[in-house]
Structure 1
Amino acid sequence: MGFPSLFQLVCLSWLFFISGTHQLQSSQEQLLLQLSKYLEYPKPLEVWNNYSGDFCYSSSSPQLTITCQDNSVTELKIMGDKPAKVSNFDGFAIPNQTLSEGFSMDSFVITLSRLTSLKVLSLVSLGMWGTLPEKIHRLYSLELLDLSSNFLFGSIPSQVSRMVKLQTLTLDGNFFNDTVPNWLDSLSNLTFLSLKGNRLKGPFPSSICRITTLNDLALSRNEISGKLPDLGSLTGLHVLDLRENQLDSELPIMPKGLVTVLLSKNSFTGEIPQQFGELGQLQHLDMSFNFLQGTPPAPLFSLPNISYLNLASNMLSGSLSNHLSCGSALGFVDISTNKLTGGLPSCLSITSDQRVVKFGGNCLSIDPHHQHQDSYCKEVHVKRKQSGGNDIGVLVGVIAGIVIVVVLLAFVFLILSRRYCSRGISVQHLLQKAVPDKSPAGFSSEILANARFISQAAKRGTQGVQIYRLYSLEELKEATNNFDQSTFMGEGSMGKLYKGRLENGTYVAIRCLTLFKRYSIRNLKLRLDLLSKLRHPHLVCLLGHCIDGGGQDDSSVNRVFLVYEYVSNGNLHTHLSESTPEKVLKWSERLAVLIGVAKAVHFLHTGLIPGFFNNRLKTHNILLDEHRIAKLSDYGLSIIMEEIDKLEAKGDGHKSWQMTKLEDDVYSFGFILLESLVGPSVSARGETFLLNEMASFGSQDGRRRIVDPIVLSTCSQESLSTVVSITNKCISPESSSLPSFEDVLWNLQYAAQVQMTADSDQKSDAASQP
């Protein structure tokens, strides 16, 4: 009798366990649905509407990722489409791209905190607004928190200091307007801190200097002022980004492990410390647009890993030594607009093909057309020698007055720029060329081997994509039926393209590159490894490669096969030609595609050092998936192919320039904008015709004559004018007038915001009609 009772007890326990598991799972799903309701059912969560399975096993995408463990949600990532770039948001007037006035950040966080097992939380561009509640600390298990590109304002709550498991804290692109917290050292596991693009003010907090685990620190585009303290205690720091603040001290001691230092557009004074010449890991240094004086330390130019050095627009003086040596990796140097005299060292010679050097606006003894007279640079020194006693005080006062005026003018310019343009010229807009080792795109083996992401968040944002791997030639032959003609998709200057089906049923696109240049196996693998690091929601995902050959001599490598995800819904050029009503791309949809591509190109320029330029930007290479999300293809191949962007056909008018600089991507994108405005049938008439017709955009009659009727019937005038204006800038023949991609992206997002408002008003008017 005892045995059956025991058996029944075990069965009941098992049933109770199953029932409890189901209830827990169900409660988690209810919480997710409640969060979707709070967020007003954003597009990435539409997949939940008719989904009947377990949310934990739903497919991931760049816009939505859910990971579970033991039937509890441990990772939640949602990428929305409500950017937070607004010029006049003051924390009270709610912009149009935010969630409605009924949204409560406090209620949202309370519900969110019931997901007690969350370790990763990323809620980006969802239009959330309000102050960040103190209750956020209830998410005590969080290791990563990313609330970028929303409309959060006020202060960063002090209760965040209790979230001691945090390793990554990212609050970029919001409107936080208090001081930078001085309790950040309570986050003892923090490795990545980014508060870029807010309105944080006050001094640089000393507590940051006590976060010994910190690897990346980004506080750029804020209003932080005063002294920058000694950062030498941050021995693990690799990236320091303090651009576009109001720091006005002398430069302090820096950690020796730094790889990237961005200090431009502040008011740093004094000489560049000799200690900077001891930063052996340093690759990228930008200290332009400050008030630095004296002669730059010679060892700075010969650092073993330095590839980018920008000292432009300071008050540097004296002569550079004729015996100054440059590091083998140094590919870009800008010492322009200073007060340097004498000659130019041979390693910075304009006749060198090893690096790009900018030196205009000094008093150097070469290139007199772009140099000042000697008196311009010696004036300050002469006055100092002739003056004495009180005269020195007077001179210092005069100089201080000039500096204050310059700072005030710069501040006014910055305010106007933020209001009417973008947040300024990005560092990446100046980056033009890396050091060549007689290689096609100018990337040395050292740079290729040490290439790294500036923003580790770029990697974290794409954890749902497939892992990059190597394919055998036999696998690819099987996937394409031995590259049968039926799988052939097309051919261009970048090789043939085939559609394949892998053994697991996944469709892929396989591009066969015939190499113009022979590489060693190591060199080629370094280049492919660099390509494999590129992951972005608006890039066609590179899944792997296959090298045809495998010997150790250069001549053994003849072909490379690149395996991409297959995007089935055609390219932008085809969609712009559609006349079927259900397939036509309205203006708002075209803007969404353009914004996606601009984000991808901006990432290619800035997400990796060295950046990727010459990216074959044209409407044929912009693919749309089944949700009409744009994905850029054929990017980054310039590091493998020796000759890129050849004229594929005589009708391809706007491909007639040499793509050799960063600005050429902007120029190419300008013609994508133009084709989106006028349609492919007009753009096919060639570059010269389009450039001549651009003047027509200035009048209503001209626009009606040249702009695609679909655009005219679905756009607001302000939205259209914004895009026409940025298009004009992108295709300007003057390279110095070209906008940065950050500027382009901001203008497109603004145009989309204006269009969204117009569409909403139109719907309201229609609904109010009797």
Structure 2
Amino acid sequence: MPPFLRAILLILSSALLTPFAEQYSSSQTQILQQLRKQLEFPKQLDAWSTIKDLCYSPPSTFLTVTCEENSISEIKIVGGKLVKPDKFDGYPVSGFTLSPAFSADSFFTTLSRLPSLKVVILVSLGIWGPLPDKIHRLSSLEVLDLSSNFLYGSIPPKLSTMTKLQTLAFDGNFFNETVPDWFDSLSNLTNLSLQHNRLQGTLPLSIGRVHSLTGISLSGNSISGEIPDLSGLASLEVLDFSDNELDSEIPLMPKMLVTILLSTNRLTGEIPRELGALSRLQHLDLSFNSFDGTLPLSLFSLPNISYVNLASNKLTGSFPTSLTCSSQLGFIDISANMFVGGLPSCLSSNANNRVVKFSGNCLNVVSQHQHDTSFCHDHAKEKLSKIKKLGLQVTIVVGGTLFVLMLGFVFLVFCRRNCKGAVAEQSLLPNPSTDNSATGLSSELLVNARYVSQAMKLGTQLLPTFRTFSLEDLKEATKNFEKSSLIGEGTAGKLYKGRLENGTYVAIRCLLLSKKYSIRNLKLRMDLLAKLRHPHLVCLLGHCIDGAADDSNVGRVFLIYEYVPNGNFRDHLAERSMESVLKWPDRLAALIGIAKAVNFLHTGVIPGFLNNQLKTHNVLLDEHLVAKVSDYGLSIITEQIQKNEASAESQCVLHSKSKACEAVDLEDDVYSFGLILLESLIGLLISETHKTVFLNEMALSFSSQEEQKQVIDPIVIGTSSHESLSTVISLTNKCLSLPSSLRPSMEDVLWNLQYAAQLQATADLDQRSDVGS
């Protein structure tokens, strides 16, 4: 073709295609504007009203639109609807979800009109309803992330036709059917994440045939039954089935695994020796299960292992003095098991700045609480006895079955000969009656069992044994309660530091009871309080009732707690030394620990403990900055803790402009936790006037970062991401709502804090990546 003719054709084609491209771009813009309308005009999409060509809009953390050859290939929108309601039954909830006018079916129909989409990320937008089948029309999708919304029902089967999918994430929704049995049809799927939904039933065998998977996360559901064979997943690096109801042994695992999270299930049997051969393994968490037997000690010397958590199982055996640990190993928790003997040097807390937790065993150490050796040996004998009994029972059952079969055979022969006589004799036999009586179970025992039925699921019965102390024991521990042993005094009574005969330091709270109890009544209440065991509660070791030996009334009781030597949260917030100052991630970790403890007090026992006098000086931090709530549940003994009038007055100052100050429930744990959040945000060097300003600003939703900087602790500003900080500010505002009906539950509080920590971790990772590049 002559050059001049080629040039003419090029000009003609350009002239013809340009209007078409502009028309197509305009059509896509209209679709995006329609999506914006259906999402009810969130602030994140305000920029769409001014930008003509959205393909060239600048990306941000909350909003990204990417185009390839003038076609939209990626949409990412991260919203701000973070606080989940107490209940969600499939109907829209004002303030949490999009309005009743929203239709998931219409929204995804509109979205499917962008057929070139490869990435769809729609997080925390309040989208509610069943996920419609028609989403499969987006056949080019490689990434689909609809996390932190309110999608419910089943995961649509037609997703199985989206064969280009590489990442599927539906975390933090309300899907409540079973795990689909068609994931193996997604031949390119590398990352499957369905965490924190309401999925039930068992894991399908087909999940072990998704050979492309590198990560699978199903934690925080109600999945039961066995873990299927996953050994064929040759590329799998991350496996997270934690916080479910799985009750099998651990099957063979893929050799490329880097992270294994199976904590808080009902897994049994021995820990497979094959785990000790996973050379790439870095993070192993098998805590809060029912594993028994001895450990594969090669776990500690794996070349890349950095974290091993085996706490709260039934593991036995001892550690050889020659045990070697990987230089990468930074955290080990073997507490609340049945280990005996000594600790080898590589499990010393001082080795390579390694954190080692080993309380609640029968080890020959004095630095942490240990049971007597007989405790662990008795357990081993009990287990052996159970095995023998089981064998005897099996023998009896098998023998009995054979005997019954033989009798049946004889009976059949006999019936053939004497059928009529046999029937006549059988008709004379009396009908057996059913005995439904509950003799032997007192009403008190039944009440106690109901009271702690949920607490027992945590396996916390393996924590230090609760015991009764004598007054002489306490006098000896405190040198007769001399003044130098007094370490605190408040509305809950005086607090002393003591040292027991075995060298263990304890904190002893003396309660003066305004109401007189009989010893029997008080012991019942103490038994209930003794069952409150949680990793983020200061462990209650025992009690002492100061009274007569008979059942006469008493007015004083001592509570003996573990001693936490690293000070309280309030003192740490006031610290300004650069070496010791609590940065935002540290504060978030402490707040999450407090929230976990309070949520357990509210929902982990029946009925819950709702008024726990939460204050920053009642929260202790151990040497690893793990938060532990103290002085919890005292209302069951004191009936009603006296309010601190000064505190009440200062808290009403915060709402001085409101006529509803008298409506503030100062004993409400969520409101009290809101004040802890407030102190964590603004620090303790701010005046009460500034606190009032802070609450007023929160009511205006903090429209600018400059306003935040005027009141928030500079340490927080300098070490937090905007998204993480905004999440906690919004949460604080809701916790401090004057009407208690508007406050979130502690479960919702915990969810939002964990989300804020996730946002902060992502921001820190991005920052490190930017520095590295």
Q: TM-score, normalised by structure 1?
A: 0.57
Give the conservation status (yes or no) of the 8 Å contact 1:667–1:731.
no
1:627-666 pair list within 5 angstroms: 653-655=574-576, 659=580, 665-666=586-587
Q: Which residue of 2 aligns with 1:271?
A: 270
Instruction: Specify whether residues 7 and 360 from structure 1 end up closer, same or farther in structure 2 by C-alpha distance, changes over 3 A only.
Output: closer
1:16 has 2:16 as partner: yes
1:157-556 pair list within 5 angstroms: 157-367=156-366, 370-383=369-382, 390=389, 412-413=454-455
Q: Which residue of 2 aligns with 1:122?
A: 121
Deviation at 1:71, TM superposition (A): 1.4
Deviation at 1:704, TM superposition (A): 2.7
Instruction: Specify whether residues 726 and 273 from structure 1 end up closer, same or farther in structure 2 by C-alpha distance, changes over 3 A only.
Output: farther
Instruction: Specify whether residues 749 and 243 from structure 1 end up closer, same or farther in structure 2 by C-alpha distance, changes over 3 A only.
Output: farther
Distance 2:309 2:176 in 1: 30
Instruction: Specify whether residues 716 and 47 from structure 1 end up closer, same or farther in structure 2 by C-alpha distance, changes over 3 A only.
Output: farther
Q: Which residue of 2 aligns with 1:703?
A: 651
Instruction: Specify whether residues 218 and 27 from structure 1 end up closer, same or farther in structure 2 by C-alpha distance, changes over 3 A only.
Output: same
Q: Which residue of 2 aligns with 1:45?
A: 45
Distance 1:230 1:322 in 2: 36
For the aligned residues, what is the CA RMSD? 4.6
1:674-689 pair list within 5 angstroms: none
Distance 1:262 1:14 in 2: 57
Q: Which residue of 2 aligns with 1:83?
A: 82
Distance 2:736 2:65 in 1: 32
Give the conservation status (yes or no) of the 8 Å contact 1:704–1:712.
no
Give the conservation status (yes or no) of the 8 Å contact 2:674–2:736.
no
Q: SS at the partner of 2:139?
A: coil
Instruction: Specify whether residues 143 and 711 from structure 1 end up closer, same or farther in structure 2 by C-alpha distance, changes over 3 A only.
Output: farther
Give the conservation status (yes or no) of the 8 Å contact 2:665–2:740.
no
1:726-745 pair list within 5 angstroms: 726-728=674-676
Instruction: Specify whether residues 235 and 668 from structure 1 end up closer, same or farther in structure 2 by C-alpha distance, changes over 3 A only.
Output: closer
Deviation at 1:375, TM superposition (A): 1.8
Distance 1:757 1:21 in 2: 55
Q: Which residue of 2 aligns with 1:28?
A: 28
Letter in 2 for 1:42: P
Distance 2:262 2:740 in 1: 42
Q: Which residue of 2 aligns with 1:54?
A: 53
Give the conservation status (yes or no) of the 8 Å contact 1:670–1:727.
no
Give the conservation status (yes or no) of the 8 Å contact 2:63–2:77.
yes
Instruction: Specify whether residues 698 and 245 from structure 1 end up closer, same or farther in structure 2 by C-alpha distance, changes over 3 A only.
Output: farther
Query: What per-residue deviation string (whole Å, max 9, x for no partner) do you get for residues 729-760 of structure 1?
Result: 8989xxxxxxxx9x999987655567899899
Distance 2:726 2:242 in 1: 19
Q: Which residue of 2 aligns with 1:147?
A: 146
Q: SS at the partner of 1:67?
A: strand
Instruction: Specify whether residues 333 and 184 from structure 1 end up closer, same or farther in structure 2 by C-alpha distance, changes over 3 A only.
Output: same
Distance 1:406 1:270 in 2: 30
Deviation at 1:322, TM superposition (A): 2.3
Q: SS at the partner of 1:333?
A: strand
Deviates more, 1:142-151 or 1:406-415: 406-415
Distance 1:129 1:152 in 2: 5
Say which one has the larger Rg.
2
Query: What per-residue deviation string (whole Å, max 9, x for no partner) do you get for residues 338-363 of structure 1?
Result: 01111112211345344111111001
Distance 1:236 1:244 in 2: 24
Instruction: Specify whether residues 291 and 4 from structure 1 end up closer, same or farther in structure 2 by C-alpha distance, changes over 3 A only.
Output: closer
Letter in 1 for 2:159: V
Distance 1:218 1:373 in 2: 40
Q: Which residue of 1 aligns with 2:466?
A: none
Deviation at 1:94, TM superposition (A): 2.9
Letter in 2 for 1:344: L
Instruction: Specify whether residues 744 and 412 from structure 1 end up closer, same or farther in structure 2 by C-alpha distance, changes over 3 A only.
Output: farther
Instruction: Specify whether residues 218 and 28 from structure 1 end up closer, same or farther in structure 2 by C-alpha distance, changes over 3 A only.
Output: same
Letter in 1 for 2:23: Q
Instruction: Specify whether residues 748 and 90 from structure 1 end up closer, same or farther in structure 2 by C-alpha distance, changes over 3 A only.
Output: farther
Deviation at 1:726, TM superposition (A): 4.9
Deviation at 1:184, TM superposition (A): 0.5
Q: SS at the partner of 2:586?
A: helix
Q: Which residue of 2 aligns with 1:136?
A: 135
Letter in 2 for 1:180: V
Give the conservation status (yes or no) of the 8 Å contact 2:677–2:732.
no
Give the conservation status (yes or no) of the 8 Å contact 1:85–1:173.
no
Distance 2:457 2:316 in 1: 30
Q: SS at the partner of 1:65?
A: strand
Q: SS at the partner of 2:144?
A: strand
Instruction: Specify whether residues 5 and 177 from structure 1 end up closer, same or farther in structure 2 by C-alpha distance, changes over 3 A only.
Output: same
Distance 2:672 2:14 in 1: 67
Distance 1:387 1:211 in 2: 40
Q: SS at the partner of 1:202?
A: coil
Distance 1:190 1:359 in 2: 40
Distance 1:756 1:388 in 2: 57
Distance 1:712 1:393 in 2: 74
Q: TM-score, normalised by structure 2?
A: 0.56
Letter in 2 for 1:339: M
Distance 1:43 1:759 in 2: 28
Instruction: Specify whether residues 663 and 362 from structure 1 end up closer, same or farther in structure 2 by C-alpha distance, changes over 3 A only.
Output: farther
Distance 1:406 1:235 in 2: 49
Distance 1:55 1:194 in 2: 30
Deviates more, 1:710-719 or 1:119-128: 710-719
Residue identity over aligned pairs, in percent, reads: 46
Distance 2:121 2:658 in 1: 35
Give the conservation status (yes or no) of the 8 Å contact 1:84–1:125.
no
Deviation at 1:53, TM superposition (A): 2.9
Instruction: Specify whether residues 664 and 208 from structure 1 end up closer, same or farther in structure 2 by C-alpha distance, changes over 3 A only.
Output: closer
Tell me the matched-pair count: 493
Give the conservation status (yes or no) of the 8 Å contact 1:179–1:200.
yes
Letter in 2 for 1:666: R
Query: What per-residue deviation string (whole Å, max 9, x for no partner) do you get for residues 625-648 of structure 1?
Result: xxxxxxxxxxxxxxxxxxxxxxxx
Q: SS at the partner of 2:201?
A: strand
Letter in 1 for 2:673: S
Q: Which residue of 1 aligns with 2:477?
A: none
Q: Which residue of 2 aligns with 1:430?
A: none
The answer for unaligned runs of 5 or more in structure 1 is: 397-404, 417-423, 425-649, 674-686, 733-740, 762-770
Query: What per-residue deviation string (whole Å, max 9, x for no partner) do you get for residues 249-292 of structure 1?
Result: 00111111111111110011000000000000001101000000
Instruction: Specify whether residues 80 and 161 from structure 1 end up closer, same or farther in structure 2 by C-alpha distance, changes over 3 A only.
Output: same
Query: What per-residue deviation string (whole Å, max 9, x for no partner) do you get for residues 418-452 of structure 1?
Result: xxxxxx9xxxxxxxxxxxxxxxxxxxxxxxxxxxx
Instruction: Specify whether residues 204 and 150 from structure 1 end up closer, same or farther in structure 2 by C-alpha distance, changes over 3 A only.
Output: same
Letter in 2 for 1:177: N
Distance 1:158 1:152 in 2: 15
Query: What per-residue deviation string (whole Å, max 9, x for no partner) do you get for residues 447-475 of structure 1?
Result: xxxxxxxxxxxxxxxxxxxxxxxxxxxxx
Distance 2:154 2:315 in 1: 38
Distance 2:14 2:224 in 1: 63
Distance 2:353 2:118 in 1: 47
Query: What per-residue deviation string (whole Å, max 9, x for no partner) do you get for residues 637-677 of structure 1?
Result: xxxxxxxxxxxxx9994325963999981289879x9xxxx
Distance 1:696 1:306 in 2: 49
Q: SS at the partner of 2:152?
A: strand
Instruction: Specify whether residues 282 and 145 from structure 1 end up closer, same or farther in structure 2 by C-alpha distance, changes over 3 A only.
Output: same
Deviation at 1:70, TM superposition (A): 1.7
